[in-house]
Amino acid sequence: MRHSGMSVLMSRLFLAIALAMACVAPAWTAGPIEIRRDKLPKPMARLHTCVKPTDKVQISPVPTPVDGSGVIFDVSCPVNGEGVRAPQAAASLDDQQLALYLARNKAGTGARRLSFDYPQADGQGNIQAIAINVVPAGPSIGWSTRAHTSKLNGAAFLDMQRRRLPPGEFHLLMSFKPADRPHLKGAIAIWRVTKRGNTKLIYWAETTEELRGENPHWIYPHYTVVLDQRPER
């Protein structure tokens, strides 16, 4: 009986722990959630015109903090939505892109939709910079200098040891497969962003190779650097 009572007690204890973990887990592990556009923070809802007010969008439940510059929200947009500017052949018409908003806080105060210079290929071997306001992948936020270049693949990365970003600015890094360049297997772009929402492309590297081999003997794709205006420190 004593053993049975102990088993019941342990079962209840494990159940209580499991319930407690279930209550806090979404804050750490939840992915994008689906809500109506008119339920977005009001400053963003006014700007997010790529869907109708009652249409649903996907948004990360917790925006990404950006030191003293505020927070970054990412909200889904159909590539053929109203006001969407994307690279040619960015995606099929039913695909979703991401609009990025820089705001002062989680309430979306002072939200600004970010636009980015993008080196668009014209199909004839020429490159022309265009302005886009949606991106194909979620960004990483931080800071990268010329010293933060991988010896494995020759590409830039963010300084993970840096605890503070320079006042009023940060770097936004994105890794993706450019749909307008089918011969490329991947590209890495970095934009410098100010707290006012101004952006500038400072890095672009691309590769025609894919990751090969098996762990731990990976053969990493080598990136060719096309543009590098990262700071020295």
Distance CA 34, CA 51 (A): 13
What is the reported pLDDT for 15?
A: 37
What is the reported pLDDT for 101?
A: 98
Question: In the 8-state DSSP scheme, what is residue 156?
Answer: B
Strand pairing report for 140-142 and 127-132: unpaired
**Locate tokens 């439940």: which residue?**
61
pLDDT digits (tens, 9 = 90+) for 83-135: 999 887 666 655 789 999 999 999 999 999 999 999 986 655 566 789 999 99
- In this prediction, residues 156-163 reach a mean pLDDT of 94
Strand pairing report for 56-59 and 33-36: antiparallel
Instruction: Give this prediction's pTM.
Output: 0.83
| Residues 171, 141 contacting (CB under 8 angstroms) | yes
Q: Which residues fall within 8 angstroms of residue 193, CB to CB, at 6 or more apart?
A: 69, 102, 114, 169, 170, 171, 172, 199
Res. 19 pLDDT band, cuts 50 70 90? very low
What is the reported pLDDT for 122?
A: 63
Q: What tokens appear for 136 in the block?
A: 């194909």
Question: What are the sequence ranges of the domains in the chain?
Answer: 33-228
| Residues 104, 137 contacting (CB under 8 angstroms) | no
Res. 25 pLDDT band, cuts 50 70 90? very low
| Residues 54, 37 contacting (CB under 8 angstroms) | yes
**Vertex 181, ends 177 and 187: CA angle to 5°?**
35
